Structure 1
Amino acid sequence: MHHLLEGGFADGAFARWRSLYELSITSSFISNHGDETAERFLSYHNIWEYYFAETYREHQDNLNIEPLESEVLEGLEEIKDELVEQFGESIDDNGYGSGWAAEAHTGNGGPSLHSMKEEVDLEHLTPYYMLACESVHAGSKGTLDRLGIIRHEDIEQPGVLLSGPSNAGLNLPGQLTAISLAQVTTDLLMTHLNSPSLADMLGMQMLVDNIEQEFAEASKALEQDDREATEEWANQDIVDISLNYIDPSDLFSETFFENHTEFDSLPEFRDALPVDLDDVKDGDSVDPKTDEVVQAGSEFDSFQDLVDTALEAWVHRNVVPSEFDIDDN
């Protein structure tokens, strides 16, 4: 999780925290119920392996994989039956994953992650767990609304999908990782409780508090910086974007002038303008005299129309359509 956070993959870290949260529930439940429950947990994998083998054998022909020998399945079944004899029938839950907790479980129905988290007082993290599940299970929420995308509801923003690392969204998985990792470590320390372990638990809690605060402050600063940058971008039109982010000599090619204007080159066009190219915008609008020059020396009705066409030509020169799976016609 540290590597994912350091690399800027908040949603990946969030998905791994989901597993850590489940581990914290399991460790807390075992810590609360002692050695017999721990032994059942360690033995349960044999129950699961038997039912996995059944599923494997059911689909092995369609998957065209090495078939499972009958002797292997019989051996797994024998081990399963021995565990049932040792721990009782409750441990055999058909491989659903929670049979090991059946005897210690006090809720209605069979044990489940949901019922166990309530018993160990970790249900307050359920909202975050639900969010993490959306990404893991390919839900529409998790696909479209990534932690790594900062959205400002009062600013118009394009709909985008995150395709790489981002500095955003690291606070939530970072804070939750600290909380759940401390929970698991505390459960381990509780097995041999003494003065040093109590001091360790107190120190961990102080560390978690500091981590939560540092992540919160970093997130707040990042969101403010992003808001300022987003507002600046949102207030720009096509003229601002073209002139501010593309070199004029690249935007206005000689071919462009030849095909669409009476000017032979960019220097000639600059000389004809009443103001410098960097100053054609007067606040939110283009200087009227600039539009007059464009109308007199080109096929365009305004400077913005000229820039629109120049930008379209620039895109065709610099973007390879096949790289984006789009039709270049």
Structure 2
Amino acid sequence: MNLSFERLFNKALEKIIEDYKEKGESLSEEILTQAIHNSLDDDLFNNIAENFYQILKDNMYEPLELERLIHTEFRSRIKQRWIRPLALFNSLIIIIEEICTNDINKSNEIKILDENTSEHSLKYYTFMKLLAKQILLAKEIHYLLEGGFADAALSRWRTAHETKIILFIFLKYYDNDKIMNELLTRFNDASIVEEYKECRWHNNSNDNYFKDLKKNYKNLLKKYGESFKFDYEWARPIFDSLSRRIYFKDLEIHVRNHEETLSFYQKANYQIHSSPLGTFDSLGTIDIEGLESPPYIFGPSNLGLRIPGQLEIFTLYETIVTYLNATPSIDTLIYIKTLGKFMNEAFEEFERVEEEIINDELSFSEENNV
């Protein structure tokens, strides 16, 4: 589809000049400007835009279907190439979801009140909410990898990594009821602070729900102090000696030093915040001597799936293993061993497929340069 309306304008301009030449009249800049205004007014542009809009809208389903077919074909090619690591990844997700489902069914921290109502302890409810979020994130990342969107998958992995660290904070104090209850209560209350900060810009001050929300927000600041409005202040009980604000990095260091994922976490930040590096760099391109990716990519790629795939598998594995180790048993030991086998093989398969693709691209490039 050619969208060059400027070319139409230039043709109209040429016709005006030719008409004046045929008449033998001189064409001053003032006359030319007036002629353009007479020929191309706002109504004309509005009419062209309206007609163009209607044509595109009347035919919008055809390109949509074409795009769907192209993407379906592309996803099919990705599955052929990456089928084994993606299948192993998916099996890991299914097993972990089954473990959590079984845990819910046999948990003593859930009381069934009636046919439609149950009561969960705050501790169990928070843990399972974090685990459920991890499983959902893993499914999203798996879907993005199947579609060839490696940068988006890495961005979602960042959320999975943060969720894991928060769960690790709670699990570190699993047997310390005092600190655990304080952290859980503050974490739950922090959600009210976040909701208020989100809603304050677009809610009517006369709305009863917002009035209650604002009241609860102010009561929490009175209870915990003004600093509670900042991120991660729910973790203050374990950072009492820290005089400054708490940052996510402090949570990471508190549970362990995650230097092995630090560079990838920063890379994900660049993608999320559209930094200069996030703009120019992409996992879906090849940066190897002898190979050159297209300068502009408008869609998915079968490259770059290894890094987000391995990162998410490792994060998901660590999350469930740390949770299971909080209440060890023979069953949990078998689960951990089984999951470890899936993780190790998935790592190897992601590595193998990426090497195959790069080698194939190098061979193809050498053949074309001979």
TM-score, with length taken from structure 2 = 0.55
1:75 aligns with 2:212: yes
Written as runs of structure 1 = structure 2, the 5 A alignment for 1:86-165 is: 88-89=224-225, 92-94=227-229, 96-105=230-239, 108=242, 109-124=244-259, 125-153=261-289, 155=290, 157=292, 160-165=295-300
Q: 2:191 is aligned with what amino acid?
A: H
Deviations 1:27-49 (A, max 9, x none): 11121134322332223101212
The CA RMSD measured in Å over matched residues stands at 2.4
Deviations 1:187-231 (A, max 9, x none): 332443323223322322232222111111111111111112233
What is residue 149 of structure 2 aligned with on the other side?
9
Written as runs of structure 1 = structure 2, the 5 A alignment for 1:288-303 is: none
* Whole-angstrom distance in 2 between the partners of 1:158 and 1:145: 11
How many Å apart are 1:71 and its aligned residue?
A: 4.6
What is residue 44 of structure 1 aligned with on the other side?
190
Deviations 1:214-259 (A, max 9, x none): 11111111111111223334x27xxxxxxxxxxxxxxxxxxxxxxx
Written as runs of structure 1 = structure 2, the 5 A alignment for 1:277-288 is: none
* Whole-angstrom distance in 2 between the partners of 1:226 and 1:26: 41
* Aligned pair partner of 2:158 in 18, 27, 31: 18
Instruction: Return 5+ residue gaps in structure 1 as ranges.
Output: 61-65, 237-329
Asked if 2 retains the 8 angstrom alpha-carbon contact of 1:107 and 1:115, the reply is no
CA spacing shift, 1:127–1:27, aligned 2, 3 Å: same
TM-score, with length taken from structure 1 = 0.61
Asked if 2 retains the 8 angstrom alpha-carbon contact of 1:14 and 1:173, the reply is yes
Written as runs of structure 1 = structure 2, the 5 A alignment for 1:22-37 is: 22-34=162-174, 35-36=180-181, 37=183
Higher relative contact order (Cα pairs below 8 Å, separated by 6+ residues): 2
Q: 1:171 is aligned with what amino acid?
A: R
How many Å apart are 1:176 and its aligned residue?
A: 0.2
Larger radius of gyration: 1
What is residue 192 of structure 1 aligned with on the other side?
327
Please, which moves more after superposition, 175-184 or 198-207? Answer: 198-207
- Please state whether the residue corresponding to 1:97 is helix, strand or coil: coil
Q: Say which structure is richer in helix.
A: 2
Asked if 2 retains the 8 angstrom alpha-carbon contact of 1:31 and 1:190, the reply is no
* Whole-angstrom distance in 2 between the partners of 1:208 and 1:89: 44
Q: 1:80 is aligned with what amino acid?
A: Y
CA spacing shift, 1:147–1:158, aligned 2, 3 Å: closer
CA spacing shift, 1:156–1:199, aligned 2, 3 Å: closer
* Whole-angstrom distance in 1 between the partners of 2:257 and 2:330: 26
Instruction: Return 5+ residue gaps in structure 2 as ranges.
Output: 1-140, 175-179
Q: 2:237 is aligned with what amino acid?
A: E
- Please state whether the residue corresponding to 1:229 is helix, strand or coil: helix
What is residue 9 of structure 2 aligned with on the other side?
none
How many Å apart are 1:93 and its aligned residue?
A: 2.8
